[in-house]
Every structure is written in C-alpha cells, then in structure tokens.
Amino acid sequence: MKKTALDHLSARNSNFFLAHRRVLAVQNPTLFMNSELLQQVRVLDPLTGTDQIADVLIAGGMIKEIAPEIPHPPPDTGVRDCRGLVLGPGLADLYSHSGEPGFEERETLESLIEAAAAGGFTRVAILPDTTPPVDNPAVLALLRRRSGEVFAPAPLLYFWGALTVGVKGEQMAELAELAKAGVAGFADGLPVQNLALLRRLLEYLKPLGLPVALWPSHRDLARTGVMREGPDSIRFGLAGNPAISETAALAALLEVVEATGTCVHVMRVSTARGVALIQDAKQRGLPVTASTTWLHLLLDTQALISYNTSLRLSPPLGNPADREALRRGVRLGVIDAVATDHTPYTYEEKTVAFGEAPAGAIGLELALPLLWHSLVETGEWTALELWRVLSTGPANCLKQKPASLAAGQSAEITLFDPQLSWRVEAQTLHTRSANTYWLGHQLSGRVVQTWLSQP
C-alpha cells in the first residue's frame, strides 16, 4: 500500500479525536480526580481468589489501599457509595474485529475503544483481517499510531499479526518483521487449510515465543452450512455444518502441535467433541490453550428459530449438548478463556436472508452483563469463575501479566452494577453497529466505570 494512502487514513479524523479528548474530561470528571474512595464495594480478584466487601482507595493511577473500612481518606478524595456494585480487574478480550481501516462504517478504532471501555474491557486484541490486513509492519504502524490518537484514558489495543499474506492461507507473512514491530502474536482469524504450510509456520514461529492463535475449521466439510448440523437444522430448513468440520481440523492441528512442540492457542472451540479433544491434548502434555466465545456459552441452535441474522455466526452456535459441554469445559479449566469475537456489521449488511448474512455479532458491551445474568445469578458459576475467564485467562493466553486488584497495583479495574437496567438500542451502544440478538431488549447489569493507568 502506498505511503500516501496510509498517511491520509491516519490524519483524516485527528482533529475530531483531539476535540473528543477534551469533551471526555468534562463528561467523566472522576476519571481525572487525584484520588477516589469506593466504599463497601464487592472486590473480586481471580489471581488471589478474593471475593470480599471492602473500601478501595485509588490515587495517582494506583490502587493505594484495600481494607474493610478506610475512614480517613486523603483530602480532596471523591467518595462513592458502592454498595451492591462489583469491582474487578479490567477485562481482556482475546480477539475482536475492527472495521478500521477499510470499513469504518462498521467500526472505527475510536468507537471500538469506547465500546470496550463501556463493557469493562481494558485490553482488546484485534484480529488482522482489516483492509489492508496486518501482514506487514507498515499497516501495524498505522494502527498503533491511530489508536494512540484516540482519547485517553482508553483500553489498550493490541494487534495480532497475520500468519499469511492477505490472511489467505497461502503464503507466509513477514513474521519476523512483524514480531520486531510489536505484534501481540500471530493469527489469521481464518482457518489455515494447508497442513504443510501450517507445520512450516509453527516451526518458524516457535523461537519467536509469541502467542499463536489458530481456528480449526475444515472448509470442505463445512461447505455451505450456516448452522450446526442436527435436529434443529433439519427442523428450521437451514443448511447444516457438521461438528466434524471443527473436530477433524482440530485433531489434525493437534498432531502438528505435537510434531513441532510449538505453543498454540485454539480459537473458537464450539463443539462437545472439540472440548474432549482439547482435554485429551492437555492431559498428554501438549502446549495448548483454548477459548470459546461468549455467545456459544449462552445460546444454542434452538435460538435460531427466530432466524435472527445476528445469530449467523462462524463457527455456528452448537447444539444444546455442545453448549453444556462448553460450560463444563470452562469451569474445569479445559477452556482457558472466553472471547467476545466482537464482529460489527452494518444494518444493511445484516438485513438479508439468514443464509446470506455475513457471520458475526457485536459483544464488547454485552458479554459481561449477559454472562453474569445467565451464569452467576443462576448459581451455575461463581463470580470469580466468570471474572477469571474474562480477565486473567485471556491475559495468560496472550502471555501478558494479568491485571490484579491488589494494593500497590496499577488501577486497571472495572466497576460493574449487576442490577442497573438499560435497554439495548443503537443510541445506547457505543459501537457503530447494532448487530446483536438482544437489540431492543431490556437488560440488567452494566459497567459503571473503567479505570486504566496509561503507560
């Protein structure tokens, strides 16, 4: 891509971002106070197994003190009654999509960062399938420069580097150069079908020591399927995508991992058999971690009776047995993390027949409240279990130091109100897109504030 085009794209909205940075300081003055005391908040920290009611003092971008009571905070400290609220480490998202560059009508880096902060995410790793893709250092430099122009405080954006040129799965990208330029790791976000190329990639990447994320999916087996094959696909008259499209590819991938010894993260596990294969691989000592998406934990094929195109996903929603196996796999630690796989599309792109709709849904602002409501409030998971797979687990998979809610640590934290009621509308969402099954629904639970101490 020509340098002039990159420069043009970078400079286009810079004046707006600078103006927005000033507006933010007025709209959210507590973000800029010298110190703030959160009284009687429920403190969650998966790293230490903490679940307690306490006062938390935040000052200078640091967590200064956590105690049953802090009766004498420093002068000029803002005091907030946080009874009924939950405070935990900032959430981390393993993989999401940005519309920018190439499809800014879907999402910009600015709107993505706003959506992440509104959803409690302080770290977001962006997949490289932008236009142009992140398969060379020049595009990476553009995205890092653009994300730095967006208002602060803001979630930290990390960028996956492409495994293959154009994320086409045909030819190795500039892996060493991307590693030197500072990618978070390597992932196409699309299946690498050529096993010989996959082996060469893993052999080449092993000494680089960066995370490698792969999505197992056999295109010839998936064919034109738009929902998971089973009784519901027959009942709804939609083309079925068989579970073996995932598991055959996963079994082959694990063989390559065993042959190369390269650490690999398995993305988008969506089937019961996939969970079993991952569990067996871990028991055999293979260097693998795995994740599923929040939607695959919440819904299954029975939800497709609505033919809502926001449920057209890839991989598709599993059958009920798949959903239950994924929930068990997460609780047992077989599945290490839950990702949002935030995939924005415009109204026009999704307003088509179910089988013709592009696959994907938004999730950054919805994952925490809906998972909390469905799993924690029902007693199926503990609050710590949910917070672990949304914060500590993803950070570990990215080979990053997880955020911790402890005295002396940087203030990378999220304040959540499980009872706050709000309606999901285009006007109440920070993302530019509204492709979600819950559009128009009244939800309970929303993030009140997100702190991030800038580096």
Q: Give the alpha-carbon dihedral of 18, 340, 302, 332, to 10 degrees.
A: -160
- Look up 129 and say whether it is catalytic: no
Q: Give the alpha-carbon dihedral of 246, 248, 250, 251, to 10 degrees.
A: 160
- Beta strands 62-67 and 50-59 are antiparallel
Q: Which of 135, 300, 322, 341 is catalytic?
A: 341
Backbone phi and psi for residue 65, each to the nearest 5 degrees, phi listed first: -160, 140
Q: 80, exposed or middle or buried, with CB in 10 Å at 0-12, 13-18, 19+? A: middle
Closest by CA position to 236, among listed 319, 126, 131, 335: 319
The secondary structure of 210-266 as a DSSP string is --BEE----HHHHTT--EESSHHHHHHT--EE-THHHHHHHHHHHHHHHHH---EEE
**Could you tell me where the DSSP H helices lie in 261-388?**
272-283, 294-298, 320-332, 347-350, 367-371, 383-387
Active site residues: 341
